[in-house]
């Protein structure tokens, strides 16, 4: 069959770091995506002072 009946224990250390690499790549992709979204939003709302722009000020001198 697939196992020998010798009774010897074989200890193998894990050497495959594919999940670590995949999670690292996913983290970099998410960070780059957030930066791209921020830069795109900043260009869309440039007239309003950017994405986290100042509140519009209402001047008290203009009356209707």
Q: What is the pLDDT of residues 7-35, one digit of tens each?
A: 777 777 777 788 889 999 999 999 999 99
Greater model confidence, 6 or 21 = 21
38 and 46 Cβ atoms separated by less than 8 Å: no
Overall average pLDDT of the 30-42 stretch = 89
- Give the residue ranges of DSSP H helices in the chain: 18-44
Residue 16 is predicted with a pLDDT of 73
* pTM confidence score: 0.51
Spatial separation of the C-alpha atoms in residues 43 and 31, rounded to whole Å: 19
Spatial separation of the C-alpha atoms in residues 52 and 57, rounded to whole Å: 15
What are the φ and ψ backbone dihedral angles of 15, each rounded to 5 degrees?
-120, -5
């Amino acid at each position: 069959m697939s196992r020998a009946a010798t009774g010897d224990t074989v200890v193998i250390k894990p050497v495959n770091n594919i999940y670590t690499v995949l999670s690292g790549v996913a983290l970099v992709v998410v960070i780059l995506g957030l930066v791209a979204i921020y830069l795109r939003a900043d260009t869309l709302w440039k007239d309003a002072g950017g994405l986290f722009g100042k509140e519009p000020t209402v001047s008290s001198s203009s009356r209707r």
